[in-house]
Chain A
Amino acid sequence: MTDKSDVKLWEQIRRHKLAYYYILPSAIVMALITAFPILYQVWMAFTNFNISNLRNPHPQFVGFANFIKIFTNQVPLENFNFWRTFAFNVVWTFANVFLHVAIGISLAVALNAPRLALKKVYRTLLVIPWAVPSYISALIWKNMFDVDFGAVNQILSSILGHAAKIPWLTNPNAPIKILPFLSYAFYADLITNVWLGFPFMMVVATGALQSIPQEIYEAAEIDGVNERGKFFKITLPLIRSAMLPAIMLGIVWTFNQFNVIYLVSGGGPLGTTEILVTQAYKIVNPGGLYGIASAFGLIVFFILLGITLITNRVTRATESEI
């Protein structure tokens, strides 16, 4: 069987020789800048590669020791806990995407009202968080969350009438006792990332809403459907196909949202807001443990592969109907 298909492939290549000559240069470039680093990393994951091997790349082969160290939390780095980080990463992703979608669709529906004045102005203002480079927003939010001088606490103080000293970024304890693993910094990161993330969902939802023919709503009105019914029976089902790929994308983006975590809370305090990608970064810098970091990278890759396969199955978003 395999022989036959191999022959067939070879036949095909021979028949379309010229086409393969055309793609050869880019194939070589891809092999050098994409395939080679990936294979190199796989090799590094099974060695004790560290900073002194950068010039003299002859580390020792250590088998699965790096993976075992990661899964048993034996990595020589402070506050390292793989399972806590993984669980936190999942909670972080779903909390964010849920809020992005909920706020995004609500705003899109509100702004889609037919006779709303200054619609374009509102839309432009709401898209601004998306237009500003995210690391700038993240740094501004970090300063706004300062316990003594930050804008967030100052505004809360003036609303509450007494000094609000919420230790947003410094206290590793949980403000909500039934969620003991979510420190104050989680909420700071969440607020920042929701602010950054909802405009994308809003834009996608707006596009989808505008493709719904007005006649359907008119027909529903004649049948006596109220506003709630219109939203749940007409709007939501009809924007579903446009929202699902965006949600999938949102899940992968948020799962790897390095900027916000690293710049707002820095993974701290005491590692309580570390996600997998920020942890991987810290293993290299300042850790200098390249071998373990490569193993960690592979683990993250398989986790993301799993998530993608599951969401693909659930949504069937990448399946073409043609």
Chain B
Amino acid sequence: MKKVLVAVLMVAMVATLFAGCKPKAQPVTLTIWHSWSGSELDVLNEAIAEYNKQHPEVTINQLQVPFDQLKNKYQTEAAAGGGPDILFGPADWIGDFTKANLIAPLDSYFDSTFLADYVKGALDQVKYQGKMMAFPESTECVALIYNKSLVPNLPKDTNELITLVDSISKGDTYGMVYNSGFYFTAGYFFAAGMKLFDDNYNAVVNQGNGGVLALTFLKKLASDSHFIVANDYGKADSMFKEGKAAMIINGPWAVGDYTKALGDKVGVAPMPAFADTGNPFAPFVNTKDFFVNANINDTQKKAAVDFIKFMVSKDIEQKFFEKAKHIPSNTKVDTSSDPIIAGFLEQMKTGVPMPIVPEMGAVWDPMQTAIDSVLAGKATPQDAINTAQKTIQDKINAMRGQ
């Protein structure tokens, strides 16, 4: 009798264990790392809330990492087997990440009908060694952003720019805050004739006089007290927002916050042409993309891709466009009659596509050092560009294990 009772109780207990188990979707947790801030972050949070309405079983943890640390943080953690499920960053990381096997190819997740809605150039840029290694969300390049109430007429070339800046600077208001980061000012290096790589992706930055011309030009700007020339994004950004600078070089991601601060006084136009050669400003044109971590299992990958598909859908890209001025990769997004986007699209016509090979990673810091040492008077433009050439090539050799 006792034994029967025990058996009945056991069955009852085991049954209660299964009682809660209706056929329900497994809970999934996705982590995304990005460097969005301001309006971009607002849109991301909105998008996550909306996604959760459709998929209550998915928890999305987003982590904001400062842009200058994001690549290294991901690289270190993913190489050790960890890292987030999804990463958001520029296409020039593709080469490094693919080489170290840190990101998963995405070809099998997107069919041709889905891809038909996206800008072809953007999809081309994320292809590396024949595989689609990321999914583009937006396209970007830097251009001249100006405060219409402070700038009477747009300069045609750099000589006009200097005259204009000298005439509109008054007291606390500077004519231009010029970001001397290599990404921002690269357009003048290419306009001056500098090339980064030869056909085998060896460095050739000191061939010809392009680098020297561009560095000499930057030095001239820095010695003019009406320009603030500094490699300090935050400071440049806040000066423009506060109306203390009439012009700035920046990309579409910043315009959302500028229009919030200055309203319709914000204008965008191509940067003036480089007077020494007459060539137009040729900035890097790059896509910003979603990457999927190579370390995660197939279920996680599917969940991650599903979220990415949602993030690049027409509705969400429309929001990113309207609130944060991202130039959408989705052709269905309505961007007509937006003068700000028109300015960037105009600038893109003279831009150069950002190389996505791993060798590109060796370029940034040595070129920045060349710029900084010339601006500080520590090196002549010729010496600085020669040093940069050597460091870039050393880094490329180390990368290739030579």
Q: Does B associate with A?
A: yes
Instruction: Enumerate chain A interface residues (CB-CB to B < 8 A).
Output: 48, 50-52, 54-55, 60, 74, 76-79, 146, 148-149, 170-173, 268-270, 285-286, 288-289
Q: Interface size bucket, B side? A: 20 to 34
- The chain B residue sitting closest to A78, CB to CB, is B369
- The chain A residue sitting closest to B375, CB to CB, is A170
**Cβ < 8 Å to A, chain B residues 205-251:** 228, 230, 235
Asked whether A270 lies within 8 Å of B395 as measured between CB atoms, the reply is no
Asked whether A54 lies within 8 Å of B79 as measured between CB atoms, the reply is yes
Asked whether B391 lies within 8 Å of A51 as measured between CB atoms, the reply is no
Q: Is B279 an interface residue (CB 8 A)?
A: no
Which residue in B72, B373, B394 is a CB contact (below 8 Å) of A286? B72
Residue of B81, B100, B377 with most chain A CB atoms under a 10 A cut-off: B100
In the complex, chain B residues whose CB is within 8 Å of the CB of A170: 230, 376
Give B226 Cβ to nearest chain A Cβ, in Å: 14
B383-397 vs A, CB cutoff 8 Å, 1 = contact: the mask equals: 000000001001101
- Please, how many angstroms separate the alpha-carbon atoms of A170 and B366 in the complex? 17
Asked whether A173 lies within 8 Å of B377 as measured between CB atoms, the reply is yes
Q: Known contacts A78-B366, A79-B369, A170-B230: does B72 contact A52 (CB below 8 Å)? A: no
Q: Is B317 an interface residue (CB 8 A)?
A: no
Give B91 Cβ to nearest chain A Cβ, in Å: 18
**Cβ < 8 Å to A, chain B residues 131-168:** none
In the complex, chain A residues whose CB is within 8 Å of the CB of B377: 173
Give A213 Cβ to nearest chain B Cβ, in Å: 55
- Please, how many angstroms separate the alpha-carbon atoms of A171 and B231 in the complex? 12
Which residue in A55, A76, A148, A288 is a CB contact (below 8 Å) of B101? A55
Asked whether B376 lies within 8 Å of A172 as measured between CB atoms, the reply is yes
- Please, how many angstroms separate the alpha-carbon atoms of A175 and B40 in the complex? 42
Majority secondary structure of chain A interface residues (helix, strand, loop or mixed): loop
Asked whether B75 lies within 8 Å of A51 as measured between CB atoms, the reply is yes
Asked whether A270 lies within 8 Å of B397 as measured between CB atoms, the reply is no
Asked whether B398 lies within 8 Å of A50 as measured between CB atoms, the reply is yes
Which residue in A55, A74, A286 is a CB contact (below 8 Å) of B365? A286
- Please, how many angstroms separate the alpha-carbon atoms of A149 and B71 in the complex? 30
Give B271 Cβ to nearest chain A Cβ, in Å: 24
Q: Is B99 an interface residue (CB 8 A)?
A: yes
Q: Is B378 an interface residue (CB 8 A)?
A: yes
In the complex, chain A residues whose CB is within 8 Å of the CB of B71: 286
Q: Known contacts A54-B79, A78-B366: does B72 contact A146 (CB below 8 Å)? A: no
Majority secondary structure of chain B interface residues (helix, strand, loop or mixed): helix
- The chain A residue sitting closest to B101, CB to CB, is A55
- Please, how many angstroms separate the alpha-carbon atoms of A275 and B60 in the complex? 40
Asked whether A173 lies within 8 Å of B376 as measured between CB atoms, the reply is yes
- Please, how many angstroms separate the alpha-carbon atoms of A99 and B181 in the complex? 37
- The chain A residue sitting closest to B388, CB to CB, is A78
Asked whether B391 lies within 8 Å of A77 as measured between CB atoms, the reply is yes
Asked whether A76 lies within 8 Å of B376 as measured between CB atoms, the reply is no
Asked whether A285 lies within 8 Å of B81 as measured between CB atoms, the reply is no
Give A83 Cβ to nearest chain B Cβ, in Å: 18
Q: Is B372 an interface residue (CB 8 A)?
A: yes
Asked whether A269 lies within 8 Å of B376 as measured between CB atoms, the reply is yes
- Please, how many angstroms separate the alpha-carbon atoms of A312 and B372 in the complex? 42
> What are 6 A-B residue pairs whose CB atoms fall within 8 Å in the complex?
A50-B399, A55-B100, A60-B401, A172-B372, A268-B372, A269-B372
Asked whether B365 lies within 8 Å of A78 as measured between CB atoms, the reply is yes
Asked whether B228 lies within 8 Å of A148 as measured between CB atoms, the reply is yes
Q: Is B25 an interface residue (CB 8 A)?
A: no
In the complex, chain A residues whose CB is within 8 Å of the CB of B76: 51, 54, 285
In the complex, chain B residues whose CB is within 8 Å of the CB of A54: 76, 79-80, 100
- The chain A residue sitting closest to B80, CB to CB, is A54
Asked whether B75 lies within 8 Å of A173 as measured between CB atoms, the reply is no
- The chain B residue sitting closest to A289, CB to CB, is B398
- The chain B residue sitting closest to A149, CB to CB, is B235
Asked whether A78 lies within 8 Å of B391 as measured between CB atoms, the reply is yes
- The chain B residue sitting closest to A285, CB to CB, is B72
In the A-B complex, list the 4 residue pairs whose CB atoms are closest, starting with the nearest. Answer: A76-B394, A54-B79, A78-B369, A76-B395
- Please, how many angstroms separate the alpha-carbon atoms of A230 and B81 in the complex? 64
- The chain B residue sitting closest to A55, CB to CB, is B79
Which residue in B376, B397, B399 is a CB contact (below 8 Å) of A171? B376
- Please, how many angstroms separate the alpha-carbon atoms of A77 and B395 in the complex? 7
Asked whether A270 lies within 8 Å of B398 as measured between CB atoms, the reply is no
In the complex, chain A residues whose CB is within 8 Å of the CB of B378: 172-173, 270
Please give 9 more A-B residue pairs, beta carbons under 8 A apart, in addition to A55-B80, A55-B100, A60-B401.
A55-B81, A76-B391, A77-B365, A78-B366, A78-B391, A146-B235, A148-B235, A269-B372, A289-B398
B70-101 vs A, CB cutoff 8 Å, 1 = contact: the mask equals: 01100110011100000000000000000111
In the complex, chain B residues whose CB is within 8 Å of the CB of A288: 75
- Please, how many angstroms separate the alpha-carbon atoms of A289 and B76 in the complex? 12
Give A270 Cβ to nearest chain B Cβ, in Å: 6
In the complex, chain B residues whose CB is within 8 Å of the CB of A148: 228, 235
